[in-house]
Amino acid sequence: MKAFWDPVQQRHAPKFFLQRGQIRPNLEIPARAEALLQAARKLKLDIVSPGTAERSAFETVHSPAYLDFLRDMPSLWANQPDHGPEAVANIHPSPEMFGNGARLPTGIIGQIGWYTADTSCPIGPHTYTAAAAAASCALAAADEVAAGRHAYALCRPPGHHAYPARAGGHCYLNNAALAAQRLRDAGADRVAVLDLDSHHGNGTQSVFWSRADVLYVSIHGDPNNYYPWYVGHAHERGGGRGFGCNLNLPLARGADDTDWLEALDHAMAAIRSFGTDALVVSLGFDASVFEPLQFLAVSSDAFARAGAIIAAGRFKSAIVQEGGYATDQIGELLRCFLSAF
Ligand SMILES: [Zn+2]
């Protein structure tokens, strides 16, 4: 099986992370990818750098103005007086502002708030290059699946919190959504995205919200007490023609292997009954019991069982890396999952 990876991804090394009113070191660090890469080597995966895709490939999900923003912001930021090392917003437009005709400002402080959902997506000089390289890995994995082979995309930064025109939660370009769209464009009639990251993939849900051709299924911590806080509830079933093509399976804090695997059985049943032609797995490891900001309590063994359960569905699968911040454990979790898969 091929694993797609580009060393350029490591040039994104965010520092800023705001947690409970304190500035702490960002957890989405290059060492994560090093750990996963080492595991991929041990598994004897065929590690390939696909090169960066054409910009038009990113525009299948993301708006041109947003892509320009990510690309151009670092040099604009560098011209700000007394600026920090990374562009981080200190304001976001509120629903009331949108209700009163809010528009994208010309000033860059307002633009950063417009194009980011939170403070967890600092934009540095190499963020766009790295995110584009990560997204290209997901696209390459989708091409493998379209050719009839499973593939793993070692995406860093991750993607599932990114909207078509908004970054958030360590994510800038939505790797899994790009892969799913690529599979649709390659002729798969029905694509499912199975999101195992412990956070709800609000970006991916939004991309496909009104679509009947892509099923989004997510198993994650209850958003009442966990990022992304406002969405990820069971009642969110999709809109318009997409109604019924969105399935959220939130779990309470401390949910264990039994709860998580039961939700996975439920998810796989939905994916089978959707008539899925190709599968994208948003594989986060932050449901693990080892996670530094732990919410769920899933063991390494359960990640192996998940790999086997998904493989039993016999869908050609693009496995796209999402979160997981226990840097000393995620390599082993990848090994457990992919060995069983
Ligand atoms: Zn996550």
The per-residue pLDDT for range 80-126, each reduced to its tens digit, is 999 999 999 999 999 999 999 999 999 999 999 999 999 999 999 99
**pLDDT tens-digit readout, 167-204:** 999 999 999 999 999 999 999 999 999 999 999 999 99
Confidence (pLDDT) at 51 = 96
Instruction: Give the C-alpha separation, 206 to 239, whole Å.
Output: 10
Q: What is the pLDDT of residue 330?
A: 98
Give me the mean pLDDT over the 149-158 stretch: 98
Residue 241's pLDDT is: 98
Q: Nearest CA to 112 among 164, 166, 65, 67? A: 166
Residue 244, domain extent: 2-340
- 176 Cα to the center of ligand 1, angstroms: 13
Separation CA 19–CA 98 (nearest Å) = 27
Mean pLDDT, rounded, of the chain:
98
Catalytic: 266? no
The neighbour count for residue 14, using CB atoms within 10 Å, is: 23
| Sign for the pseudo-dihedral over CA of 161, 175, 57, 119 | positive
- Residue 250's φ and ψ, nearest 5 degrees, are -70, 145
pLDDT value at residue 118:
97
| Predicted pLDDT at 228 | 98
> How much is the average pLDDT of 247-271?
98
Tell how far the Cα of 244 is from the centroid of ligand 1, in angstroms.
24
In the structure, what pLDDT confidence band is assigned to residue 224 with cuts at 50, 70 and 90? very high
Residue showing tokens 């320009």: 68
Q: How far away, in angstroms, is 227 Cα from ligand 1 center?
A: 8
Mind listing the pLDDT tens digit for each residue in 26-66? 999 999 999 999 999 999 999 999 999 999 999 999 999 99
Phi-psi label, residue 127: left if phi above 0, alpha if psi -120 to 50, beta otherwise: alpha
Q: How many domains does the chain have?
A: 1
Annotated catalytic residue, options 12, 150, 161, 200: 161
Q: Which residues surround ligand 1, an ion (CB under 5 A)?
A: 197, 199, 284, 286, 323
CA angle, residues 325, 338, 213, in degrees to nearest 5: 90
What percentage of the chain exceeds 90 in pLDDT?
A: 100
pLDDT in the model for residue 265 = 98
pTM of the model: 0.98
Measured in Å, residue 310 CA sits from the centre of ligand 1 at 20
pLDDT at 221: 98
Residue 78: pLDDT band (50, 70, 90) is: very high
Residue 168 confidence (pLDDT)? 98
CA of 88 to the centre of ligand 1 (A): 20
Q: Determine the pLDDT at residue 101.
A: 98
The predicted model gives 220-233 an average pLDDT of 98
Distance 228 CA to ligand 1 centre (A): 9
CATH assignment at residue 137: 3.40.800.20
Residue 158's pLDDT band (cuts 50, 70, 90)? very high
